Chains A and B, each alone.
Chain A
């Protein structure tokens, strides 16, 4: 899965380009995200607008990145499709993340924080 990223001020906006974040792609996704964190990213916007589906492995990898960021970092999400949101609700992921419709709104939420 190709993963693009863009630095916006002190924020990193990450956009996975694959349609499915699942067992086959979650490991690569997670290791790429961990690399970002190890290279100093602490405030990350994960833009899932290109992703149609996330399975349990993919959901687990997102939680894992949240834990890697620790107390000082923050991970917010945006661009979540209806199907993916259903899975977030099923697993209560929607209760542990701030979720925004678009990347711009997610970025703006940091400046207003």
Chain B
């Protein structure tokens, strides 16, 4: 057998692809094995509800918690972590579809589409009717003016396609290709703000230390890193002029944060040129970025969940309350751990610890456990308590898509977890019933304690449940493929953390999923 040069060149291209993917070969083999084996569905016992996995912070506790948090913040322990690599593609999905129509879309086309119940046309009609209410209106108007065009004239003439072209394409504002963080969201007399700038403003409110220094970390896609850094730097300079010191930092999702795709037979999916296909592995890949931060108290919040300054009071209040609860719990946990370490733990100590763990951390004491020697009990509790801690805000379920807080069985141990719909086997009646009974959902409003009782950072990859990834069906060039998502950042990536769910008001959750969400009152001046 003598391979021809083309065959050898093809092999070399695949090898080169593996090298540039950055994914270790052993990991690829493990992923292929996981496709074959599949991921077990989450074993949901019941939803977490108020009093059963979700707690409410009493009015009477607020003052104490705020004071505890502010002391920790003043010591420089707090920072924000904002996953900001998401593209605005989905936000402008309907408008992009309209921009691609042939013949180019005009007012008649839009009206005909609405009459035919076309969802994109309906979204487009709302968009054009309210154009002047978007914070990016002036930006778009000025851009068109520079191109010798008048936005209002185009609007009156019903030239929808042209307006969308200048909004979405690189010849215009390029909103169809920018990360969501760079879209102008909110209007202010002194200058409009993007979500990136709103997160900076939030960081100042609740992460600033005694010297007024506020720390915030953004994860950004490599292709937009330079643009985001420049954008943030301008905001930092403006803040400095106002006497505020911001310390932004950035990281990019690692090239290795992709997974291999397979075909229906779980063999590697190949392109026409025989190359492999890699797909983004989801937000779980950001655990590595979070781990690299070596942070202490870290707030995690999505890029698109921001409000203008006049509505920030609730958000900042609950952030500080969650932070205060975290610090208070850490105080108890660290004291227990030091007690165990000092060798002074006895039965009474273990009983007190067990009561605390049950009440606050949802950790049950195993059956007959109290009959075991206290040394054994202490070792058990040490292993359970000496873990990263997260306090997660949960809002009342309003029918929003996404994950929620559930009691889940892992082996024979129940624990509270944030579970996504895709992780649950809804074909099973009991699982469907548990899912339908959910009273709260996850707005991604976490405060994390990432250091141990000695002040050392936890090694976060040690607390991941690798069995909580999931496989989804996708298509590429008309062919079916299977893609794999790694355990989500706040799902399986934090499966073995200690977890506390706290009810927070809906006013703290204001995501912008589509462009028309910016017309909601909470995003208007």
Q: Contact string, A74-113, partner B, CB cutoff 8 A, digits 1/0? A: 1000000001001100111101111000000000000000
Are A92 and B25 within 8 A (Cβ)? no
Q: Is the CB of B19 within 8 A of A56?
A: yes
Shortest CB–CB separation between residue B78 and chain A, in angstroms?
A: 40
| Pair A86/B11 contact, Cβ less than 8 Å | no
The reply to whether B15 and A96 form a contact with Cβ atoms under 8 Å apart is no
Residues of A within 8 A of B3 (CB): 66, 95-97
Which A residues form the contact surface with B (CB < 8 A)? Answer: 53, 55-57, 59-60, 63, 66-67, 71, 74, 83, 86-87, 90-93, 95-98
Q: Say yes or no: A96 contacts B7, CB within 8 Å.
A: yes
* Contact digits for B1-36, partner A, Cβ 8 Å, 1 yes 0 no: 111000110111011101100001110110010000
Indicate if the CB atoms of B15 and A56 lie closer than 8 Å.
Answer: yes
Q: What are 11 inter-chain pairs, A to B, with CB distance below 8 A?
A: A59-B15, A59-B18, A60-B15, A60-B16, A63-B15, A66-B8, A87-B25, A92-B14, A96-B1, A96-B8, A96-B11
Residue pair A95, B7 in contact (C-beta under 8 Å): yes
Complex Cα gap A109–B397 (Å): 69
Closest B residue to A53 by beta carbon equals: B26
- Chain B residues positioned under 8 Å from A92 (CB to CB): 7, 10-11, 14, 274
Tell me the dominant secondary structure on chain B's binding face.
helix
Q: In the complex, what residues of B have CB within 8 A of residue A87's CB?
A: 25, 29
Query: Which residue of the partner chain, among B14, B26, B32, contacts A91 with CB atoms under 8 Å?
Result: B14
Q: Which of B12, B19, B26 contacts A57 (CB 8 A)?
A: B19
Can you name 11 extra interface pairs (CB under 8 A) apart from A97-B3, A98-B1? A56-B19, A57-B19, A60-B19, A63-B15, A71-B2, A87-B25, A90-B18, A91-B14, A92-B7, A92-B14, A96-B11
Q: Is A56 in contact with B25, judged by CB distance below 8 angstroms?
A: yes
Whether the Cβ atoms of A90 and B276 lie closer than 8 Å is yes
B29:A63 contact, CB within 8 angstroms: no
Chain A CB within 8 A of B268 CB: yes
Residue among B15, B18, B26, B32 with most chain A CB within 10 A: B15
User: Hey, which chain B residues are within 8 Å of A60, CB to CB?
Assistant: 12, 15-16, 19
How many A-B pairs have beta carbons closer than 8 Å: the answer is: 58
Which chain A positions have C-beta within 8 A of B18?
56, 59, 90-91
Q: Which residues of chain B come closer than 8 Å to A95, judged between CB atoms? A: 3, 7, 11
One of A59, A90, A97 near B28 (C-beta < 8 A): A90
Query: Which among B1, B7, B11, B14 has the highest number of chain A CB atoms within 10 Å?
Result: B11
Give Cα A63 to B19, complex, Å.
Answer: 14
Q: How far is the CB of B348 from chain A (nearest CB, A)?
A: 53
The answer for the CA separation of A92 and B12 in the assembled complex, in Å, is 9
- Which residues in B have their C-beta under 8 angstroms from that of A91? 11, 14-15, 18
How far apart are A64's CB and chain B's nearest CB, in angstroms? 9
CA distance A87 to B19 in the complex (A): 13
B340 to chain A, nearest CB (A): 41
CB distance from B304 to the nearest CB of A (A): 37
Inside 8 A of A98's CB, which chain B residues have their CB?
Answer: 1
| Interface 0/1 of B466-477, CB less than 8 Å to A | 000000000000
Tell me which residues across on chain B come within 8 A of A53, comparing CB atoms. 25-26
Residues in B whose Cβ lies below 8 Å from that of A74: 2
B12 near A86: Cβ-Cβ < 8 Å: no
* B32 and A86 within 8 A (CB): yes
**Could you tell me the distance in whole angstroms from the C-beta of B499 to the nearest C-beta in chain A?**
37
Interface centre among A56, A63, A86 (most CB of B within 10 A): A56
Residues of A within 8 A of B14 (CB): 90-92
Give the residue name and chain of the B residue nearest to A22 (CB): B25
Instruction: Knowing A57-B19, A90-B276, A98-B1, say if A83 contacts B11 (CB, 8 Å).
Output: no
- Which chain B residue shows the least CB distance to A92? B11
Q: Which of B8, B16, B32 has the most CB of A within 10 A?
A: B8
A74, B14: Cα distance in complex, Å = 22
Separation of A53 and B25 alpha carbons in the complex (Å) = 9
Min Cβ gap B29→A in Å is 6
Please judge, given known A-B contacts A56-B15, A98-B1, whether A90 and B268 are in contact too, CB under 8 Å: yes
Cα separation A70 to B106 with both chains bound (whole Å)? 63
Q: Which residues of A contact B32 (CB under 8 A)?
A: 86, 90
Closest to A60 in B: B15
Q: Bound state CA distance, A20 and B94, in angstroms?
A: 51
B25 touches A55 (CB 8 A): yes
CB distance from B440 to the nearest CB of A (A): 43
A95 to B3, CA, bound (A): 8
Q: 10 nearest interchain CB pairs?
A: A96-B3, A56-B18, A56-B19, A91-B14, A60-B15, A55-B25, A92-B11, A56-B15, A98-B1, A59-B15
B274 — nearest CB in chain A belongs to which residue? A92
B16 contacts across to A, CB distance below 8 A: 60
CA distance A59 to B8 in the complex (A): 12
Contacts of A66 in B (CB 8 A): 3, 8
Write the chain B residue with the least CB distance to A87: B25
Most B CB contacts (10 A, CB to CB) among A55, A66, A97 go to A55
CB-contact partner of A63 in B1, B11, B25, under 8 A: B11
Please give, as numbers and ranges, the residues of chain A lying within 8 Å of B24 by CB-CB distance.
55
Roughly how many angstroms separate A86 CA and B35 CA in the complex, as a whole number?
14
Smallest Cβ-Cβ distance to A76: which chain B residue: B1
Complexed CA–CA distance, A12 and B10 (Å): 27
CA distance in complex: A86, B32 (Å): 10
Question: How far is A92 from B16 in the complex, measured between Cα atoms in Å?
Answer: 13
Chain A: which residue is nearest B26 at the CB level?
A53
Chain A residues near B1 (CB-CB < 8 A): 96-98
